[in-house]
Structure 1
Amino acid sequence: PTFSIVKFLLYAFMFVMIFPYLPGSDSGIFKGVSVFIGVLFSLGSSSAIANIIAGIVITYMRPFKTGDRIRIGEMTGDVIEKTLLVTRLRTPKMEEITIPNASVLSGNTINYSAPAKNDGLIIHSTVTIGYDAPWKDVHQALIDAALRTTGIMQAPTPFVLQTGLEDFYVSYQINAYIKEVNRTTAIHSDLHRHIQDVFNERGIEIMSPHYRALRDGNTTTIPADHLDEGYKPASFRISSNPDQ
């Protein structure tokens, strides 16, 4: 890139130096045409110049390279080409997106491939489970589901964060490390399948996104292993007045 920039500057300097020696350069017509072309160039190339300058800055910042999985704004994909004017991405759906370098430089860029080469990239997914399910069982089920998933690293071990205590359920977020960033979509899908399988095997209801059921409200939602031995839910007492 440095050689290309220096070569372009040398050609531009050479043109400026030889311009006065061109035949007819002193004539009024030649000067008028030169001014007209200069005005057209200055009016029509402002965005192109901005993209070129942004491309040079991006080249030396090195936020990503060809083949990296990145996110620019709302678009995520693999970098397939970088030029001084544009950056091209290929999305997981095999769509090719062309982004002007000025837009790349003015926004935020997330590089998923860079951290994955060393420690691994963390992917995550959230499920919501009722308060009647012991949180330790939920944590273990999520970790076991992650360890069954192809593409998720066995070490470091996946871990769970409880991200919210909502009105009707608890939000659990499973976090796991991966190396194959270009397979993120497939790994996510496989992880979700294993979460369903493990939770069904262990009798834990997934309350996502919302689950409604009519149940006896007198029965506590505290897990059974926290209740006193011989616990019985309170019963209904109904009385009637035959005169009314």
Structure 2
Amino acid sequence: MSDTDPVAADPNQAVEAAALVVEKPLITPAAIDEETLFILQMFDQMDAQAPLMRLVIGASIVGISLLLLLITRFHFKRRVGRMEALPDDRYKALRWQAQDLLSAEDMKAFRVSFTQWIGRFVSLVFILAAINGLLMTSGWTLRLAARMINGFYQIVSFIWQGFVSYLPNLITIVLIIMVARFVIRTLSMVFDGIRTRRIYLKNFYPEWADTSFGIIKLLIYALTAVIIFPYLPGSSSPAFQGISIFVGVLVSLGSTTAVANIIAGVVLTYTRAFQIGDQVDVAETRGRVVERSMFVTRIQTLKNVIVSIPNSMVLNNNIINYSKNMGQRGLLVHTGITIGYDVPWQVVNRLLIAAAEKTEGIAESPPPFVLQVSLEDNYVAYEVNGWTRKPEELPRIYSALHANILDEFHGHNVEITSPHYRAVRDGNPVNVPEVLPRDDEDGESETKEGKA
């Protein structure tokens, strides 16, 4: 050995260095907070006064936790079994504005799933309590047990302090919602009275009541949300504000068509273009209006087909309402026919009126009438008109009218033709019918018409 070797020079220093290396732990324990240290001191005092007390308490916690765990599992299992055995009609569907948001089957599945998760949570709490009691029985795991107790206390304390500190804001939110609900219910009664004609407002039609109430209710909801927003937890955080802006941008970009349909629906309501049950012709679709929702108008065609038309398309097209001006006379049914000049117009008029009078659905009063629409080169154009109060039966009425016209003309040997003539002046008589007196209605006149 050299003279410079410290171990050889001073053996006592080498022994002390080796002792320091042995006493130094390989893993440094984590720092203990004050709450955990306080719990450990309580355990030390308990061990000093009664050495077996901590073991008894730990074993009691384990036994009671396991017993409660078994009772909880049995109770929730039995409860879930009873809920699943009940028929679906025992559960009420979640409804909002006459629509089923969740059916009875969905509500049953939701309640069963919710009960199962509650049972799992309670079971987890008892399992953790049993583990904590088991850790309390050994000095090696006493510090871990103290940390678990402190963690549970911190969680409960955090939730309770957060609830207490948020309680004034919660009370404010509840009061604002109560006031908003009171205002909405009051307005609901007012507009319900207007809709049922129990309340009369000048120049305000009953069919406007539902739409007006919906708009006002939407504005109240929006105002309530704006007032409540500052009282919500985390509303002042940048993350919450960023998410709100992002959602607002998505809604504004993706709802252009939806907003257009909503506005069009409101405009259609206040213009009173049609009502539910009216016979209309919109966008080449003819039928009865069966529904007018926020976005679309549904029409049941004469072929019993439901056609959904966006409100914006309805607003941009001409709307023909066959039921709007029924009044005392009703709707005018009309059809045209062309007859040659060789048949007197009086005969054509009487035959057309007789056909209209025999048609079921055409009213007797006011009586049908005929118009001489035009005098063409080779024929005369006639139009027969009659009144009806059954716009939903227009196809059948037109079909019956056309059939009766054929029967009347064929029964009186009058051809429904539009002849073309070539005039050759060779001395032959001109093909002009005999002029009949307009006021002559006796048998002689009828004989002349027959000859003609």
- Note whether the superposition's TM-score is higher than 0.5: yes
Tell me by how many angstroms 1:43 deviates.
1.2
Q: Once the two structures are superposed, what CA deviation does each residue of 1:130-186 show, in whole Å capped at 9, x if it has no partner?
A: 111111110111000000001101111111112222232211111100011111110
Q: Secondary structure at the match of 1:48?
A: helix
- Report 1:107-126 matches (<5 A): 107-126=317-336
Q: Which of 286, 293, 307 is equivalent to 1:76?
A: 286
Tell me the residue number matched to 1:52.
262
Q: Contact 1:117–1:179 at 8 Å: present in 2 too?
A: no
Q: Which of 245, 261, 271 is equivalent to 1:61?
A: 271
Tell me the residue number matched to 2:431.
221
CA RMSD, Structure 1 to Structure 2 (Å): 2.2
Tell me the residue number matched to 1:88.
298
Tell me the residue number matched to 1:229.
none
Aligned-partner Cα distance in 1 for 2:286–2:256:
28
Higher helix share: 2
Change (3 A) 1:133 1:27: same
Q: Which of 248, 258, 264 is equivalent to 1:38?
A: 248
Change (3 A) 1:90 1:211: farther
Bigger CA drift: 72-81 or 182-191?
72-81
1:14 is aligned to 2:208: no
Q: Once the two structures are superposed, what CA deviation does each residue of 1:71-127 show, in whole Å capped at 9, x if it has no partner?
A: 223221101011122111111111211111122223221211122243211010011
Q: Secondary structure at the match of 1:114?
A: coil
* Rg larger in structure: 2
Tell me the residue number matched to 1:178.
388
Tell me by how many angstroms 1:219 deviates.
5.8
Q: Contact 2:340–2:419 at 8 Å: present in 1 too?
A: no
Higher strand share: 1
Aligned-partner Cα distance in 1 for 2:338–2:331:
24
Aligned-partner Cα distance in 1 for 2:431–2:235:
91
Q: Secondary structure at the match of 2:281?
A: strand
Matched residue pairs, number? 224
Change (3 A) 1:225 1:61: closer
Aligned-partner Cα distance in 2 for 1:225–1:11:
77
1:167 is aligned to 2:377: yes
| Aligned partner letter, 1:167 | D
Identity of paired residues, percent? 46
| Aligned partner letter, 2:240 | F
Tell me by how many angstroms 1:213 deviates.
9.6
Q: Contact 2:379–2:419 at 8 Å: present in 1 too?
A: no
Q: Secondary structure at the match of 1:115?
A: coil
Q: Secondary structure at the match of 1:40?
A: helix
Change (3 A) 1:221 1:33: farther
Q: Which of 325, 329, 350 is equivalent to 1:140?
A: 350
Tell me the residue number matched to 1:129.
339
Q: Once the two structures are superposed, what CA deviation does each residue of 1:20-43 show, in whole Å capped at 9, x if it has no partner?
A: 332222333222222221111111
Q: Which has the higher contact order (CA 8 A, sep 6+)?
A: 1
- TM-score normalised by structure 2 residue count: 0.47
- TM-score normalised by structure 1 residue count: 0.84
Q: Which of 375, 394, 399 is equivalent to 1:189?
A: 399
Aligned-partner Cα distance in 1 for 2:299–2:386:
26
| Aligned partner letter, 1:80 | V
Structure 2 residue runs of 5 or longer lacking an equivalent are 1-209, 437-452
Change (3 A) 1:160 1:95: same
Change (3 A) 1:202 1:214: farther
Tell me by how many angstroms 1:128 deviates.
0.9
Tell me the residue number matched to 1:28.
238
Aligned-partner Cα distance in 1 for 2:414–2:370:
16
| Aligned partner letter, 2:219 | L
Tell me by how many angstroms 1:63 deviates.
2.1
Q: Contact 2:378–2:420 at 8 Å: present in 1 too?
A: no
Tell me the residue number matched to 2:365.
155
Q: Contact 2:378–2:419 at 8 Å: present in 1 too?
A: no
Aligned-partner Cα distance in 1 for 2:297–2:430:
57
